[in-house]
Chain A
Amino acid sequence: MVKGIEIRTSPHLKRALNVQQIMRSVVYAMLPICAFAIWQFGLSAALLLATTTGAAVATEAWFSRLRGAGNTVADWSAVITGILLGLTLPPGFPLWMAAVAAFVGIGLGKALFGGLGYNVMNPALIGRAFVQAAFPVAITTWTPAFAPSRFVELIPTTLTAPFMRPESVTDWIAGLGVDSWTGATPLAMQKFQHVETPAWDTFAGLVSGSAGETSALLILVCGLWLAWRGCLDWRIPASVLAGAALTALPFWLVDPGIYPSPWFVLSSGGLMLAAWFMASDMVASPVTPWGAIIYGVFIGALTVIIRLFGGLVEGVMYAILLGNAAGPLISAWTQPRVYGAVKKVQAKS
């Protein structure tokens, strides 16, 4: 087959992934997680995801029109931000607040820095951090997973009128007939009552929590697929998880009655979702191999420290934002030596 032979000088690139292909792969990888969220939390989760995605895309379109630099919606990155944001919010989160989060995330987190490729931090987490600071009650109002009526009715807080305070869900939950609902996620139960939810439940995702963070197993599978496709640097999620587990281990060994087991740390809360889909954000993470590992371990360790000793139940959001902020510095520290170059001699002063 003479026709198939190509003679060129190196590098012999077999395929070039462009931004759009990578972003689309990430969207595909998140679809099973979205489906699980909808199956678990019902109509409210579906509306929440649709709202955040729609608002993120609309914001992106608006800002790219203002900049007059062509429509940047087509690179799919706004869709990712929208879906990720939706997955990190409680399923009954009022839709107007979700739209605010998406607007702030894309607008403040990305567009104002110059769009995709220039954002310092992960836009979805900027949006979430903003609503966490603005609406601290609504973002910690959890509802039970697998409510019997989840496909026929919405969680009452979902359709709160814009700028209005969401009503209390206590009565609604009492009417659901879900036994032993304490209003707490596995993380909160562990932190405040030192009751560890069975490992299989948190790993498979049969618990309450944010819309898309519950099933560690599903996220792990989707993340591994992405890593296999080459759409994320495997070092980042691996070192985030390793950093978290290794930080949690000594505490657990000292007093398993109070501190969570490394296994629980890995499978609960948003750590798995954050490690695979947010910490690995290509723009906001360091590019050097060692840099990626340092960055990941930093995020993992910080997450556990915030969880164990901070006022908040979950710390992975702030850990990643801090990691993002430190990213450029880590990159600068871990520049690999150019092949053949001589080590710089320190000038004597």
Chain B
Amino acid sequence: MAELPKHQEDLSLDTFVRGLWKENPVFVMLLGMCPTLAVSNSAINAISMGLATTFVLAGSGALISWLRNWIPKQVRIASYIVIIATFVTIVDYAIQAISLDLYAALGAFIQLIVVNCIILGRAEAYASQQRLVPTLVNSLGIGAGFTIALFALGSVREILGSGTLFGLHLFGAGFQPWVVMVLPPGGFFVLGAWLLLFNWIKQRGERRADAPTGVPANAR
């Protein structure tokens, strides 16, 4: 978990950007694994899930931040859950109205956004202490990071698992689908591979930063 901001944060570019990389909810904080693994079997499912979660994050974050001085500390979790559930219900009905196919594909995971720990985590760690605008921007950043991560998983799984991206055939009819990639184990494989890649890039960056000072990379 990222360290809690003790003071009121001023709005800056970092408020948004750190959700994409430095505090990416999936690749760095490893939160919200359940929807990440479950609905990332195709790119379109992944993006829809990401956008739905972003909406709930931003909406609930804004409302919690706005109400932060009125919510008693003792019942804050219950209050947050009520607020989050409100937005999840909105998303739930909205997706039903937009596309029933998508609704069927995402299944119970739309309702389960309410227990996604990214959202409660942001509410507790950020929204409950920060002003409205930074909260909104930060939530959007975290949501974008979540969407990017889901898309990264979903696109790989869809390309290997069915040879398509957003339903378009990439390799022609003779493609051999890797059945396992659209099944649950594929989610774990691809998530592991992305984590490997991200950590490798991160460590390489740190090693380069350390190198001029003469500190051995593995001495940390």
Report which A residues bind B (CB closer than 8 A).
97, 108, 130, 133-136, 138, 160-161, 163-166
CA distance A108 to B180 in the complex (A): 15
Residue contact B183 to A164, C-beta cutoff 8 Å: no
**Nearest CB on B from A63, distance (A):** 12
**Nearest CB on B from A93, distance (A):** 12
- Looking at chain B, what size class is its interface with the partner chain? 10 to 19
Judged by a CB distance under 8 angstroms, whether B194 is at the interface is: no
CB neighbours (8 Å) of B181 from chain A are 134
- Quick one: which of A135, A136, A163, A165 has the most chain B CB within 10 A? A163
| One of B11-19, B59-67, B104-112, B169-177 at the interface | B169-177
CA distance A136 to B177 in the complex (A): 10
CA distance A165 to B162 in the complex (A): 12
Residue contact B174 to A165, C-beta cutoff 8 Å: yes
CA distance A203 to B28 in the complex (A): 54
A-B contact count (CB 8 A): 29
CB neighbours (8 Å) of B189 from chain A are 108
Residue contact A135 to B171, C-beta cutoff 8 Å: no
CA distance A184 to B199 in the complex (A): 47
Contact with A along B175-198 (1 / 0, CB 8 A): 110111101010001000000000
**Nearest CB on B from A66, distance (A):** 9
Residue contact A164 to B180, C-beta cutoff 8 Å: no
- Quick one: which of B175, B176, B181 has the most chain A CB within 10 A? B176
CB neighbours (8 Å) of A133 from chain B are 179-180, 183, 185
Residue contact A135 to B176, C-beta cutoff 8 Å: yes
CB neighbours (8 Å) of A130 from chain B are 180
Can you show 23 pairs from A to B with CB atoms below 8 A apart?
A97-B176, A108-B189, A133-B179, A133-B180, A133-B185, A134-B178, A134-B179, A134-B180, A134-B181, A135-B176, A135-B178, A135-B179, A138-B176, A160-B176, A163-B171, A163-B176, A164-B174, A164-B175, A164-B176, A165-B174, A165-B175, A165-B176, A166-B176
CB neighbours (8 Å) of A134 from chain B are 178-181
B interface majority secondary structure = mixed
**Nearest CB on B from A120, distance (A):** 15
CA distance A183 to B151 in the complex (A): 42
CA distance A160 to B175 in the complex (A): 11
Report which B residues bind A (CB closer than 8 A).
171, 174-176, 178-181, 183, 185, 189
**Chain B, Cβ-Cβ closest to A165:** B176
Q: When A and B form their complex, which 9 residue pairs have the shortest distance between CB atoms, in order from nearest?
A: A133-B180, A165-B176, A134-B180, A134-B178, A164-B174, A165-B174, A134-B179, A164-B176, A163-B175
**Nearest CB on B from A115, distance (A):** 16
**Chain A, Cβ-Cβ closest to B161:** A134
**Nearest CB on B from A149, distance (A):** 25
**Chain B, Cβ-Cβ closest to A104:** B189
CB neighbours (8 Å) of B176 from chain A are 97, 135, 138, 160, 163-166
**Nearest CB on A from B39, distance (A):** 20
Which listed residue, A136, A163, A166, touches B179 by the CB 8 Å rule? A136
CA distance A163 to B169 in the complex (A): 13
CB neighbours (8 Å) of B183 from chain A are 133
CB neighbours (8 Å) of A164 from chain B are 171, 174-176
CA distance A155 to B49 in the complex (A): 45
**Nearest CB on A from B67, distance (A):** 46
CB neighbours (8 Å) of B180 from chain A are 130, 133-134
CB neighbours (8 Å) of A138 from chain B are 176
**Nearest CB on B from A320, distance (A):** 18
CA distance A161 to B180 in the complex (A): 20
CB neighbours (8 Å) of A165 from chain B are 174-176
CB neighbours (8 Å) of A163 from chain B are 171, 175-176
CB neighbours (8 Å) of B178 from chain A are 134-135
CA distance A165 to B189 in the complex (A): 22
CB neighbours (8 Å) of B174 from chain A are 161, 164-165
